[in-house]
Structure 1
């Protein structure tokens, strides 16, 4: 369960992920080691996935900045997204509720279609729309009274103070109570045995 201090730490880190823990501690009335402990807890819970570098690629002159929208074959969005994620120059990949795949990239050539289809099965793409970007701004902030509600992976109830976290096959899972954890692990082991 996240408290107000956790949310304040997340807001400060979203503004500047390189902000020293001592500075964060001053802002939230904690010591630097206490902030470090909380950040580690947020990473272990999977709330903080990674700290990243946001480059202004226009200053690096690495290709042409484009926004590409792909209409894909039914059920093909995940496959196309996975292929795009491995391409050098692709920055952000989104899947819309309508099943389209949208991504931003710095294309190394003016022929974006030819570059794209070197990596993505052209049979999975029905339509390609490329727009040249003249600028972009990434704002990863926690606004207003945002609250995080971590849900139990078994029953989907909110994970409260008596919640349990457990790493299963390298992935952090959160449970609202030890009973849900036990049931989930039993089902997981049963399915794993059946797969052998």
Structure 2
């Protein structure tokens, strides 16, 4: 199966939001004609990426990576007064890691994070990410399903994509760019936002 390009991913995102959306409308959003969008959707159905009228997306066939929860066992230096330095060093690495979406620090000071990484390179990616950080070991758990409903004092609210203003659900992405945190509904929007941000910086 050929790799999905950004246009395929954007079409999937639009169909996932509204499976009854006309191909002509999708074409206007992605810069293609209605028939060209229809051809792409047919190919996605034939390759098994789209299953059924409601657009059941098999995300293992996308480039988004495999969702994992990682528990990090930080090394404790017996000669140190506090283990905050290894923790801060690990958190700093995770802030700069694109696959990482959420980082958690427990009341006991343990480090846990959720990320989407390439399934065949999870261990290799972890080794590279924490190179030079005092880590004894880590435990990787494959996440089967994620449900994320953000709320404040029990009142649900919706995040909007910084690029297209669509609602960001549990499959969205979060990125820290120049110290600011932005939320995106898909990887395509994140890429377009990064590219435009970089062009604006270069022109400044």
Normalised TM-score (structure 2): 0.39
Taking CA–CA contacts closer than 8 Å with sequence separation of 6 or more, which of the two structures ends up with the larger relative contact order?
Answer: 1
Q: TM-score, normalised by structure 1?
A: 0.41
| Bigger CA radius of gyration | 1
